[in-house]
Copies of this chain bind each other. A is one copy, B any other.
């Protein structure tokens, strides 16, 4: 069981949890995993950012006027000063506009192509090969123990859903993420949903993950895994429920095999290092360097 995990306190905590939940009704076996930095690599930046940039470049090739818009010009030129001036939120919302009017099926197709064709800038492999082997083993082990395994991500729900079934065996309805709103349109006797450029609620990060879990899952998870301050409330919620629970925090301390960094939240400023939160809360901290025999699938 869990062959890519080295002996140690993290693996012991997992095995102990897996034994304890044998007494829990299978309907109450719910686990949720953050995605960026927990299931797949989020450095140098999030795969979704590379996707947005890729789509913008593709569109700008046939519509050069797009580069007149300051947000797009800053992205296309990689102008960090301009990006800083404009702010992440304004740039992100401009990129979301690229997909306005697109059907969910068309959007999924765009994401599929990105994962098939594009390569990670440092490792030169498809982004879908930069999954963490030990975490996939954990997901598989939980499923064997009748857990339903969800993803709770600040990334776009529809971005992650496009590949979650293939990469993780996680069906679209088991992905809780940030959302855009959709509008229904009729044309040629068909009713179709199309994306708007408006967010549907707040990004799914920090405290927002909790009502979104209730809204979509309807049950309290008893295992949660994450790596950043944006996962803190989700981990606290899972680990302060009744019966056996486990909060897992991935520590990115392996500069040789991955990237050494302290995880930060994407959309808000955290008041505390997530490692301090973990120590204070008694969460199980996973050292990539010490606890994992292998890191990446690819």
Interface residue ranges, A against B (CB under 8 Å): 27, 104-105, 148, 150, 157-158, 161, 165, 171-175, 179, 181-184, 189-191, 193, 200, 207, 210-211, 214-220, 233, 236-237, 240-241
**A191-B237, A191-B240, A233-B191 as given contacts; A173 in contact with B217, CB under 8 Å:** yes
CB neighbours (8 Å) of A241 from chain B are: 190
Contact of A157 among B148, B158, B218 (CB under 8 A): B218
Closest residue on chain B to residue A209 by CB atoms:
B184
Closest chain-B Cβ to A165's Cβ sits at a distance in Å of 6
Given the complex of chains A and B, what is the CA–CA distance between A50 and B235 in angstroms? 37
CB neighbours (8 Å) of A174 from chain B are: 173
Q: Are A190 and B240 in contact (CB under 8 A)?
A: yes
Q: Are A173 and B216 in contact (CB under 8 A)?
A: yes
Closest residue on chain B to residue A190 by CB atoms:
B240
Closest 5 CB pairs between A and B?
Answer: A172-B218, A190-B240, A161-B218, A182-B211, A173-B217
Given the complex of chains A and B, what is the CA–CA distance between A183 and B211 in angstroms? 7
Closest chain-B Cβ to A119's Cβ sits at a distance in Å of 26
Given contacts A190-B240, A193-B214, 16 further A-B contacts (CB under 8 A): A27-B165, A104-B218, A105-B220, A148-B173, A158-B218, A172-B218, A173-B216, A182-B210, A182-B211, A184-B207, A189-B240, A190-B241, A191-B233, A191-B236, A191-B237, A200-B211
CB neighbours (8 Å) of A165 from chain B are: 27
Closest residue on chain B to residue A157 by CB atoms:
B218
Q: Are B182 and A104 in contact (CB under 8 A)?
A: no
Closest chain-B Cβ to A241's Cβ sits at a distance in Å of 8
CB neighbours (8 Å) of A157 from chain B are: 215, 218
Given the complex of chains A and B, what is the CA–CA distance between A193 and B4 in angstroms? 36
Closest chain-B Cβ to A214's Cβ sits at a distance in Å of 5
Given the complex of chains A and B, what is the CA–CA distance between A137 and B159 in angstroms? 35
Closest residue on chain B to residue A218 by CB atoms:
B172
Q: Are A171 and B184 in contact (CB under 8 A)?
A: no
Closest chain-B Cβ to A250's Cβ sits at a distance in Å of 21
